Amino acid sequence: MTTVMFPRQEEAIAPPPPKISTRNLNVYYGDFHAIKDVSLDILPNHITALIGPSGCGKSTFLRCLNRMNDLIEGARVEGSVLLDGQDVNDPRTDVVALRRRVGMVFQRPNPFPMSIYDNVAYGPRIHGIRRRSVLNEIVERSLRQAALWDEVKDKLRQSALALSGGQQQRLCIARVLAVEPEVLLMDEPASALDPTATFRIEELMQELKSQYTIVIVTHNMQQAARVSQYTGFFFKGELYEFGETAKIFTNPEKRETENYIRGRFG
Amino acid sequence: MRLSRAHELWRRFLNMASLALTGICAIVVMAPVFVILAYLVVNGIRSLNIEFLTSLPKSPGETGGGMANAIVGSFYMVGLALMLSLPVGVGAGVYLAEFGRTRYAHVVRFMADVLNGVPSIVIGVSVWALLVVPMRSFSALAGGVALSFIMIPMIARTTEEMVRAVPNVLREASLGLGATYARTMWSVVLPAARGGIVTGVMLALARVFGEAAPLLFTALGNRFWNLYLDRPMANLPTQIYEYAKSPYEDWHRQAWAAALVLIIVVLVLNIIARVSTRERYRALR
């Protein structure tokens, strides 16, 4: 958030430039047209939620933002995804650097089968940080940011797989934060967790919002309404409606959006 | 009413009979192991002593002596085979698991399966032509290479299975953090698959430790100490073969003792394989 004390009028009104914008984005899996012509701006330091019924393309869209779709055989992406104005699909874009800037938290907690410490230190290590003292610092800072430090500080050497599901998911968030990304992509980060753990994750997102740009895909509409400032409704591969969360949930423009939000389908 | 009662009795009988039949089959599976073990212990334990384990064979006709050179030779050549086959086998296995959809990979996989099925005597003869003839000598090197030909496809296929079984979410997590594919393999996938790979390697070691056929024409055997790669080397399987067909009573007893040593080593390797598998499940829980 900008902290200008006395903004001039037009600066206060003009929205900040989008962190990520997509223009006419299309994704095909073989013959299947998964994403149709999606153009969307994602603002920095806000939480943007993507909702919609299963198979509507919201996860696919999310995976375009850090090119995780590269890993899926037969996936083809057309159109542009701009991160700070630079096309991530440009052949000159270094995908390793891109994924460092755009981190991802997955649906199921997926800690590596190694110690808690090594999980968090994995990212810094692959980016060349070797010094013990620096690693220690990063691990502690990341675990604190993920609100996990107090629970694990005495057992950093223990296997990450011994943690509970909710703790594992916060560990995965800490692991992403350790590489200091600018954008956090969260693909249904709480769908495998119980309500208490879900609440912790949502709380965490609010704390992280000031430093990161967060995009969350969720099946849970209450969650989208609770955590996000902007919401996009995906339906059959198209972005049907996008706007401020309050507006989408109270006064949607499209009938499909309203039906979905009222729980009439999906 | 009466009919259904009879029917029920018949059903119970069938159930019992089937259970008994499968139980008997299970016993038949285990029986050879116990027969072999009992036979070896009864016949081999008398000659299995310190002298057998630590001294060289005596001249034909003399009693006493041992097979120290053959025991060391067996470990030597199996170790050599391990050094040759581990990198190749694991490398090929990773390739097949990660890039296994290409035509080339299908050919490699098929060839590995064919090699797995090639009788070990054929491998022995081939390595004889490949190495022994050009080098003009039987050698430990040729023996190790022959054994590695048996191990490579076994290790490659196990590695492939184990690497394939590593959940994709782990790869995505690593790549999502900005790791390269190679780094992801080294630091995440292979460590996660390690337990299973170790099991496969142990089973392959156990298999080749007892192989006589590939060594008959390659390492040949030796009545003296040799630790040179380019000279014939003693080993347990061929020594057993030689002693068992000899006319000397004492050599027969030593052959039994050698067989006992062999089976103990194989058993230990199998147990290590088991334990390492258990480790893996504990780690993943």
Which residues does chain A have within 8 Å of residue B98's beta carbon, measured at their own beta carbons? none
- Whether residue A172 and residue B283 make contact (CB cut-off 8 A), yes or no, is no
Residues 6+ apart with CB under 8 A from A78: A24, A25, A26, A27, A28
Q: How far is A113 from chain B (nearest CA, A)?
A: 6
Q: Is B174 an interface residue toward A (CB < 8 Å)? A: yes
Chain B positions in Cβ-Cβ contact with residue A108 (cut-off 8 Å): 169
Angle between helices B103-117 and B140-165 (to 10 degrees): 130
pLDDT digits (tens, 9 = 90+) for A189-248: 988 888 888 898 899 999 999 999 999 999 888 899 999 999 999 999 999 999 999 999
Q: Of the candidates B46, B33, B34, which has an alpha carbon nearest to the alpha carbon of residue B256?
A: B46
Tell me the pairing of strands A47-51 and A213-217.
parallel
Q: How far is B283 from chain A (nearest CA, A)?
A: 7
**Which three-class secondary structure state does DSSP give residue B90?**
helix
CATH numbers and ranges of domains, chain B: 50-284 (1.10.3720.10)
- Helices B249-284 and B190-209: crossing angle in degrees, nearest 10, is 170
The answer, for B178 touching chain A at a CB cutoff of 8 Å, is yes
Give the distance from residue A55's alpha carbon to the nearest chain B alpha carbon, in angstroms. Answer: 19
Contact: B177, A123; criterion CB under 8 Å = yes
Say which residues have a Cβ less than 8 Å from residue B96's Cβ, sequence separation at least 6: B105, B108, B109, B112, B156, B159, B160
Domains along chain A with CATH numbers: 17-261 (3.40.50.300)
Nearest to A257 by CA among A61, A65, A50: A50
**Chain B residue whose CA is closest to A71:** B172
pLDDT in tens, chain B (285 residues): 566 888 889 999 999 999 999 999 999 999 999 999 999 999 989 888 999 999 999 888 788 888 999 999 999 999 999 999 999 999 999 999 998 888 999 999 999 999 999 999 999 999 999 999 999 999 999 999 999 999 999 999 999 999 999 999 999 999 999 999 999 999 999 999 998 999 999 999 999 999 999 999 999 999 999 999 999 999 999 999 999 999 998 899 999 999 999 999 999 998 988 887 665 444 443
Task: Report strand pairing: A102-105 vs A86-87.
Answer: unpaired
Tell if the CB–CB gap between A122 and B174 is shorter than 8 Å.
yes
Q: How far is CA B266 from the centre of its chain?
A: 8
- Of B279, B101, B99, B65, which Cα lies nearest the Cα of B192? B279
CA–CA distance, A193 with A94 (Å, rounded to integer):
34
Beta carbons of A161 and B284 less than 8 Å apart? yes
**Residue A127 sits at the chain B interface (C-beta within 8 Å):** yes
Q: Residue B238's CB: how many other CB atoms inside 10 A?
A: 27
Q: What is the DSSP letter of B65?
A: B
Identify whether the C-beta of residue B252 lies closer than 8 Å to the C-beta of residue B240: no
State whether B175 and A68 contact (CB < 8 Å): yes
* Contact residues on chain B for A183, CB-CB shorter than 8 A: none
- Amino acid identity for residue A229 in this structure: Q
Interface test with B, best of A104, A126, A177 (most B CBs within 10 A): A126
> Chain B: residue nearest A126 by CA?
B179
ipTM metric? 0.85
Beta-bridge mates of residue A232: A50, A242
Secondary structure (DSSP) of A30-97: TTEEEEEEEEEEE-TTSEEEEE-STTSSHHHHHHHTTTGGGGSTTEEEEEEEEETTEETTSTTS-HHH
CA distance A95 to chain B (A): 8
pTM as predicted: 0.83
- Using CA coordinates, name the residue in chain A closest to B99: A73
